[in-house]
Amino acid sequence: MNLPTDPHHVPPYAIVDTTLREGEQFAGARFTTNHKIKIAQMLNQVGVEYIELSSPASSALTFEDHKILVDLGLKSKLVPHLRCAKSDVDLALSTGMKVFHLMFATSPILQQYSHGKTIDEIIQRATEIVSYLKGMQMEVRFSGEDAFRSNIEDLDRVFEAVLEAGADRIGLPDTVGGATPFQVYETVGHFHEKFPDAEIQFHCHNDAGCALANSYAALMAGATHLDVTVLGIGERNGITALTDLVARLYTLNRDAVAKYNLKALPPLDHYVAQLVGVDIPISGCVTSPTAFHHRAGIHTNALTRSTSSYEILDPSDFGVTRKIDIAHRLVGKNAIRQRSLDLGLNIADETLAEITWEIKTMSDQEKLTDEFVDGLLQEAAATGRKPTRQYDKDGSTRRMD
């Protein structure tokens, strides 16, 4: 396995956001028509290339919603996710869709327990539908569901057939999230080498915590389209998160994400989190409530000199701000000095040192707030002397003259 030699190189790629398909399968999701409209518009504002939708055969309302979404005239391409069934395809065609995502399970376990079809039967059904759509000049992707538990020889046969029928893109979903980054790199690399002119779409579940790493591995191995959802919501514990993927690529090469509106990501994350009733996780890149929260004195000291010392992402690029915590026992004098300057106060270094020690010792006994610390600083600046209350190193209280 030949790994990439340039860690800053990001190959050309497109994002397929499937919040309105995979995300609808999340336990807490129930999107109304208006919700779908707003999510689609917000994704369009971010600039994702594709917005994948549930099959119009899912329900009568879904079918009507598809027509409404088509009429929005979004720049992002709308894509229904469909079985290889002509009835489903015709229903999607009637809504005005121009791009189609077809799927058929190809793993032995799903052949046995999901649909009961042989590989030959899958090939016959898939090529018929691909040819049908390509005859109308539609953009078509065919995906082998559960690809990473499928026999690679079977996938070779299926993909060769659908590409010969005219498919623009093949799909490799890690449907149960069991693949490792090394496995993904090797498998995607195999199909990239075997079908060098074909686009490859990758979809990864997060059951074992590897979704983001696997998506990155797929891209480096030759994938051209990466599936994501807002916050990573989806079946079970979801898939790769949109903001996390953008953050990963941003750290490698900011030019690689210049085509997206980064400041449109935080409001999108917050909107969807509210809709599905979840908090943005602390592990979430960029939009976690603690993503740019700094506490350790060594860190905050360096940050006052260069924000890049302890931040690989620039929060201003995403429209968010950093937070330097000053009301706790780990605070350093430099953070307190910076806070006093932010408040427009001029306080001697000796006094700042005393205030810093007071904050440290007091926070050992009670939870402090930024407002309390600001009060100490303002008192010191106004009176020209040290604060009126201080704690000795043993924690006992004494008053100052």
Give me the active site residues, please: 299
Collapsed DSSP state (helix, strand, coil) of residue 79: strand
Q: How far apart are the first and last CA of the chain?
A: 72
What's the rounded Cα separation, in Å, for the pair 247 and 261? Answer: 12
Give me the phi and psi of 398, to 5 degrees please. -140, 155
Beta-carbon neighbour count of residue 324 at 10 Å?
A: 19
Q: Is the dihedral of CA 211, 216, 219, 225 positive or negative?
A: positive
Distances from the Cα of 214 to the Cα of 180, 190, 265, 395, angstroms = 7, 15, 22, 50
- Between β-strands 397-399 and 389-391, what pairing exists: parallel, antiparallel or unpaired? antiparallel
Q: Which residues pair with 227 in a beta bridge?
A: 16
Alpha-helix residue ranges (DSSP H) falling in 277-369? 297-303, 333-342, 349-363
Which strand (E) or helix (H) includes residue 70? helix 60-70
Instruction: Describe the crossing of helices 370-383 and 349-363 by its angle, rounded to 10 degrees.
Output: 150
Is there a contact between 110 and 146 (Cβ–Cβ < 8 Å)? yes
* Alpha helices by DSSP H, 143-294: 152-164, 181-194, 211-221, 242-252, 265-276
Rounded Cα distance between 316 and 321, Å, is 6
Burial 185-212 (b: 16+ CB within 10 A, else e): bebbbbbbeebeebbbbbbbbbbeebbb
